Amino acid sequence: MPTLFVSTVCGQGRRPLVLFALSLLSLTTACGQNPPATAPTLPGVVRDSATGRSDMPWLRQQLDSSRTLRRQQIGVALADATTGEALFGYNEAKYFTPASTMKLLSLYAGLTLLPDSLPSLRYFSRGDTLFFQGTGDPTLLHGDVPSRRAYTFLLNRPEKLLAYCDIATVPAYGPSWAWDDFNYYFQPERTAFPLYGNTVRFYASAPLVVRPRPGAPAQALPQRVRVFPRAFAPLTAAAGPDFRLSPDQDDEMHVYRAPLENRFTYRLGPKKWIDEVPYRTSRQLLLRLLGDTLRRAIVGTVWRPRPGQDSIRTLRGLRADSLYRRMLRVSDNFLAEQLLLMTSSRLGYRDSLSGARAIRYLLKNQLRDLPDRPDWVDGSGLSRLNLLTPRTLTALLARLHQQVPEPRLLSLLAAGGGQGTLRRRYFEAGPPKLPWFWGKTGTLTHTCNLAGYVRCKSGRLVAVTFFNNSIPGDDQATRNAMERLLHEVRERL
């Protein structure tokens, strides 16, 4: 037998062991099978003994070989959320368009500069007149994060006259925002004193089918559309037979606003629907809407408190966490922009609201030691002028984790399988569903980003930024690839 020949050659001392091993080999060969081979599992993180730097070679290999990711620009940075130690970087020092992940910087601005309750308005009283001005608070009569604090305050003031005072504010639209998005719910105008979220809501009921008499043919009554606030109802009309969309308008929308005026046209449909459209703001419209709401006369004037005589106070409104939570979970651009305006009102300049002032202050002070200086121009990430590196955003995530108690921080973010932009991903099936990722998505055309925290099987919390720019076509494959890779990070770390 071959086994006896080989064992003799190998020497008598190893004969029993060799006979046993080769007998097993002969048996597996006779059965037509190959011996099982298991690829060695690479460690999650390896450390260079010379430099002390950490790396994840398996992740680098998968990023390099991914057919989906290698066709676009990608940047990844991972760090331990507790210690801030960098664990992995892939194009981590290159700048990318961050899209709505910029809202994490707006969150940091709010947590750093605002108190626990939002500054709702500033005011002083003189004689029979209450003078007041806005601070950028977006919650007054907002449809999703409503606060009645300012409404109740103004309604019950004993002064005979309410005088609204203008304050210098940034333009309605941010730098490089898309002008043709004026009709979409996600791009309301920025103002010092928003009402109703600076949008109009339309509620269409399902068409009612009736029979005039028994046996008669069924007839569909015209669809009813309610408008809120009611002040815009006279400016709203159903589309007539001659109504035509321009070639670049979205034919899935129900309501269309004229570009430069508050004139709304809605298209009737076979089902009920709800639509939300920004209105064009103005001082005159603000005074009218506020007067109609309070059922009190409101006049416009200038803000001229007398030094040493008029005591200026700030009315506190909604708890700030309510705004942060809504802003991050559903990626609300309007709330993010107004948040940045509110932070600027806390910096000592009381004559204007400027998000750029808040940005300059933070980059010069609290954020001066970030790995790479951000190009930060707005609060929402709508602008393509924003630029971030992956390692900078990951460093910010680590800093947030160090400064905010973990349960509170994670409760503000969208949770995998829970709500908002992550509701269909990043969770273990239940019941109950168990999220393992909390964070913020960032999406523009050709851009699909993700930033947040991965809870690993070991219990470790890892801060991660995953940027994808210049994506050709649909981004679904990119989303799938990110989820698969972060799931492996969860398993290995």
pLDDT digits (tens, 9 = 90+) for 1-58: 444 333 333 344 444 433 344 444 444 444 444 444 444 455 688 877 677 788 889 9
- Rounded to an integer, the average pLDDT of 223-244 is 92
**218 pLDDT higher than 80:** no
Residue % of the chain over a pLDDT of 70:
90
Q: 145 and 9 share a domain?
A: no
Q: How confident is the model at residue 98 (pLDDT cuts 50, 70, 90)?
A: very high
- Rounded to an integer, the average pLDDT of 81-109 is 97
Q: 122 and 92 share a domain?
A: no
Q: 288 and 407 share a domain?
A: no
In a domain, 31, yes or no: no
- Rounded to an integer, the average pLDDT of 178-194 is 95
- Residues 412, 328: Cα–Cα separation, whole Å: 7
Q: 59 and 182 share a domain?
A: no
Task: Report the pLDDT value the prediction gives residue 268, as an integer from 0 to 100.
Answer: 86
In a domain, 6, yes or no: yes
Q: Which helix (H) or strand (E) holds 284?
A: helix 283-294
Q: 14 and 53 share a domain?
A: no
- Rounded to an integer, the average pLDDT of 132-157 is 94
Domain limits for position 18: 1-25
Where do runs of H (alpha helix) occur along 34-73? Answer: 57-65
Give 52: exposed, middle or buried? Use CB within 10 Å, 0-12, 13-18, 19+: exposed
Task: Report the pLDDT value the prediction gives residue 43, as an integer from 0 to 100.
Answer: 67
CB 280 within 8 A of CB 287: no
pLDDT digits (tens, 9 = 90+) for 256-282: 999 999 999 999 888 899 999 999 999
In a domain, 383, yes or no: yes
**Based on the structure, what is the number of domains in the chain?**
3
Q: 448 and 414 share a domain?
A: yes
Q: 146 and 269 share a domain?
A: yes
pTM recorded for the entire structure: 0.87
Task: Report the pLDDT value the prediction gives residue 107, as an integer from 0 to 100.
Answer: 98
- Residues 93, 465: Cα–Cα separation, whole Å: 12
Token pair 């006259």 in the structure block, residue: 161
CB 442 within 8 A of CB 432: no
Q: 152 and 194 share a domain?
A: yes
In a domain, 38, yes or no: no
Task: Report the pLDDT value the prediction gives residue 66, as an integer from 0 to 100.
Answer: 94
- Residues 39, 8: Cα–Cα separation, whole Å: 33
pLDDT digits (tens, 9 = 90+) for 445-487: 999 999 999 999 999 999 999 999 999 989 999 999 999 999 9
3-state secondary structure 392-456: HHHHHHHHHHHHCCHHHHHHHCEECCCCHHHCCCCEECCCCCEECEEEEEEEECCEEEEEEEEEC
Q: 98 and 133 share a domain?
A: no
